[in-house]
Amino acid sequence: MIGSFCVFRSKHLLIIPPTFLVSIGIACSVVAQSKLYNPIALPPTNEITDKLTENDIPTGLGGFARDYLVKLNKGDNVAIDLTSDSFDAMVTLLSTDGTTISENDDGPDGTTNSLLFTRINTTGTYVVRVRAFGETGIGNFKLKVTRLRPS
């Protein structure tokens, strides 16, 4: 039958209209997509020791990234510290809509670790993206988000 998908089941022929298959395909792809991207919530200490692997988010530049969720408030001044002995660390702060707020490749100490300072303009849940600079880099790292207090 043209325009339909036929399934032989036992001694019966089941004809499924293409619009039904498309509907199922859309529903399946939505479920699959939601399982693909699941940022990790930072613990209450806003500090984590973890590992960047080849199973993380492909960056399109040959490397990989891992995302963490952190709740921040309007007016917060934050320091995001990313250290690794395994790769050239790069940290990015993203808003909930995926816009880059700020990023840093190398910290002020002359190493390949990253230290990012920024002020938060809108209360919300943000994404802190950990990745290696350039095409390669996987391994252990430590990430810490600190709210700075005025003196």
Are 98 and 151 within 8 A, CB to CB? no
Stated pTM of the model: 0.74
Q: Where are the beta strands (DSSP E) in 3-138?
A: 5-9, 12-16, 40-41, 47-52, 57-58, 64-72, 77-83, 89-94, 100-104, 114-119, 124-132
Given a cut of 90, whether residue 136 has pLDDT beyond it is: no
* CB proximity list for 7: less than 8 A, separation 6 or greater: 13, 14, 16
Mean pLDDT of 101-108: 86
Q: At 112, is the secondary structure helix, strand, or coil?
A: coil
At residue 10 the predicted structure's pLDDT band, cuts being 50, 70 and 90, is: very low
Query: How does pLDDT run across 37-81, given as a tens digit for each residue?
Result: 789 999 999 999 999 999 999 888 778 999 999 999 999 999 999
Question: What is the distance, to the nearest Å, from the Cα of residue 136 to the centroid of all Cα atoms in its chain?
Answer: 17
Q: List the one residue out of 72, 57, 64 whose CA is nearest residue 125.
A: 72
What digits encode the pLDDT tens for the residues 18-46?
554 444 444 444 444 445 778 999 999 99
The pLDDT, as a whole number, for residue 116 is 95
CATH class of 40-148: mainly beta
Please state the domain extents for the chain.
Answer: 5-36, 40-148
For the chain, the C-alpha Rg in angstroms (whole number) is 22
